[in-house]
Amino acid sequence: MDQQAIENYAINHTTDHSELVKELISVSEENLEHIDMLSGRLVGRLLSLLIKISGARRVLEVGTFAGYSALTMAEALPEDGELFTCEYNERYEDISRTFFEKSEAGSKIKLVMGKALETIPTISGSFDFVFLDADKINYPNYYAMILPRLEQGGIMVIDNVFWSGEVLDGKSDKGRAIDQLNAIIRDDDSVEQVMLPVRDGVTVLRKK
Ligand SMILES: C[S@@+](CC[C@H](N)C(=O)[O-])C[C@H]1O[C@@H](n2cnc3c(N)ncnc32)[C@H](O)[C@@H]1O
């Protein structure tokens, strides 16, 4: 089976983005390098559905980039929902802020600038939904920091858990860090999880 063709097939049979999110993607493609960091329709729509199904209201995202997944999740949140999204690279701030301001869902989003391991402790309260998608080397540290603040029954989604297959051979620092987190989650009795072969691998877990 042609993996790329089947992924395109899956994308084409998944709910499309809002017009504003489509505009954000095309502006990001025109203006930013590393556009492959944007998680894309399969992951975005998975996040959106999980938020709606779970009734999540208070979301933490680690890794904003141009704001694609933040805006997609904010659109799925109820009116009184809140989403904190952490980003340290100021290069991406203009695009994300512009689109958050343009969106009706934008008032739910708080962009928190700075290194996430330093800024997350400054955000008060607990979360019922977390999307982990920032520096891979710190994945185990983010998990240790955030899991105690995830509500019982809360959901965490972790992107890039395959790291292009580098979790298998242990040859790169990032691949090893992600593999370390994958093992921590597998052995953690306080959560139940599924690792999905979607795009670059996505783990969905629920805190028991
Ligand atoms: C994969 S991208 C996020 C993509 C975004 N979630 C989406 O789906 O559109 C990862 C982002 O994490 C940011 N990042 C990396 N290290 C970080 C850190 N220590 N603190 C905060 N953000 C960080 C990067 O600058 C980058 O924008």
- Give the pLDDT confidence of 129-187 residue by residue, as tens digits: 999 999 999 999 999 999 999 999 999 999 999 999 999 998 899 999 999 999 999 99
Residue matched to tokens 């979301």: 59
Mutate which of 71, 92, 135, 157 for ligand 1? The one with the most ligand atoms within 8 Å of its CB, which is: 135
Q: Is 135 in the pocket of ligand 1 (CB under 6 A)?
A: yes
Q: For 191-207, write each residue's pLDDT tens digit.
A: 999 999 999 999 999 99
Domain containing 36 — which CATH number?
Answer: 3.40.50.150
Cα of 63 vs centre of ligand 1, distance in Å, is 3
The answer on pLDDT for 1 being more than 90 is no
In this prediction, residue 30 carries a pLDDT of 95
Domain that holds residue 175: 3-207
Q: Provide mean pLDDT across the span 2-9.
A: 93
> How many CB atoms are located within 10 Å of the residue 18 CB?
16
In this prediction, residue 91 carries a pLDDT of 95
Q: Tell me the pairing of strands 109-113 and 58-62.
A: unpaired
In this prediction, residue 196 carries a pLDDT of 98
C-beta separation of 62 from 89 below 8 A: no
**Which band of pLDDT confidence, cut at 50, 70 and 90, is reported for residue 208?**
very high
Smallest CA-to-CA distance from 42 within 83, 77, 72 is with: 72
- Residue 14's Cβ-count burial label (10 Å; 0-12, 13-18, 19+) is middle
Q: Identify the three-state secondary structure at position 63.
A: coil
Number of domains in the chain: 1
